[in-house]
Structure formats: C-alpha cells, structure tokens
Amino acid sequence: MTTLYGIPNCDTVKKARAWLDAQGVAYTFHDFKKAGVPPQLDAWIAALGWETVLNRKGTTWRKLDAAEQAAVQDAASAATLLRAQASAIKRPIVEWDDGSVTAGFAPEAWAARRH
C-alpha cells in the first residue's frame, strides 16, 4: 500500500493527494501533526539523502535561528531537527507500494510509475 506523509493544510500535499485520487491510486495518509514523525525517517534519509528530506525553503526552516540552522550538518543532526520539527520535512514523502520512496510532488515522475 502506498503511504503519503505530510500535513493536510500544505498546498503541495493537497495537490499530491488530489493527483493520487484522480489517478485512482489507493493510499493511506499519515499526518505529521497528528501521528508524528514515523520511525522510517532514518530510512528516508538513507534512501534520499538528508539534504533532500530537509526542506530548507519552507517557513519552518526560515523561522529557525541561525545557530539551529548551522547545527544541521549531517544525517544525524538533520534527523534530530526533523523529529522535533516535522514541518521541516520536505512534503510529501511517499512510500510507494513497490518499496521506493520519493520526496516532493512530481506529477510527471509519478505518472511514469503508473505505466
């Protein structure tokens, strides 16, 4: 089963969910706000790289002070921050039914998985 991880009020997550619905893809939704950061965070970082999983463009990252931002220098420090600040995780993270993981919404790449 495909699982989409994110925050329900995130515009990108809304677009991703609408796309999955339109394509008839069965998925479950994991809400970071309600269910927290799952244990798979470390696997996501291993698969995608911590710099991909960490969203440096979002408001959560920008609201951190310079010392907090500077402290994120590797996978371990990124994981520590992301467990404390789930909103700093790039959204959505998708665990596909084939076992692969992606970060962000990429309709073209997602469509290619369907064929």
Domains of the chain: 2-113 (3.40.30.10)
Query: Which position among 2, 3, 7, 10 bears the catalytic label?
Result: 10
45 noted as active-site residue: no
Mean pLDDT within 11-17: 97
CA dihedral (46, 50, 55, 60) positive or negative: positive
Q: Bridge-partner residues for 95, per DSSP? A: 3, 101
Q: How many CB atoms lie within 10 A of CB 110?
A: 17
Categorize the per-residue pLDDT at 100 as very low, low, confident or very high, splitting at 50, 70 and 90: very high
This prediction has a pTM of: 0.93
Mean pLDDT within 101-110: 96
Greatest C-alpha distance within the chain:
46
Cis peptide leading into 107, omega within 30 of 0?
A: no
Mean pLDDT within 67-72: 97
pLDDT in tens, 15-69: 999 999 999 999 999 999 999 999 999 999 999 999 999 999 999 999 999 999 9
